[in-house]
Amino acid sequence: MTYTQTRDAKTPPTIAPYTFAAEEDRCAPRHKVAIPAKLRFSGSTSFAVEVANISMAGFACDALLQAHPGTRCWLTLPGLAPLEAEVIHINNMGLGCAFQTMLNPAVLDRFIASYPPRNIMPA
């Protein structure tokens, strides 16, 4: 059996969580967007965020609240039911999360076309 090296241990590929693929392989192309959305951590109320990039595998948003990697969350995009995700990394720009289930390519294309990235004016 072939094993995949994860951060902590070797895990058979059939058992390795999808989040490792989302973090380590960047298995899907990311698209810059500016999507107004709501994010909710497990056991808390939702709050407004802006999704800055999205892929079939996950998203990054501007959340100012702290969350540890591994925290479950739900992202509500305009017109969709909440999508379950897991926090993968945090930095001073926000959160990076992996979807529990990959986003449908047609849905992804709709959001890319409908919510282009903001043009930042030079200072």
The distance between the two most distant Cα atoms of the chain, rounded to a whole number of Å, is 56
- In this predicted structure, the answer to whether residue 5 has a pLDDT above a threshold of 50 is no
pLDDT at 28: 80
Assigned CATH topology for domain 28-114: Thrombin, subunit H (2.40.10)
Q: Which residues contact 103 (CB under 8 A, 6 or more apart)?
A: 54, 55, 56, 57, 83
The full set of domain ranges for the chain reads 28-114
pLDDT at 122: 61
pLDDT tens digit sequence for 41-59 = 988 999 999 999 999 999 9
- In this predicted structure, the answer to whether residue 12 has a pLDDT above a threshold of 70 is no
- In this predicted structure, the answer to whether residue 123 has a pLDDT above a threshold of 70 is no
pLDDT at 67: 87
pLDDT tens digit sequence for 14-36 = 444 544 544 444 568 899 999 99
Integer CA distances (angstroms), 6 to 1, 37, 56, in order = 16, 31, 22
Beta partners for residue 35, in sequence order: 51
pLDDT tens digit sequence for 61-97 = 998 777 899 999 999 999 999 999 999 999 888 999 9
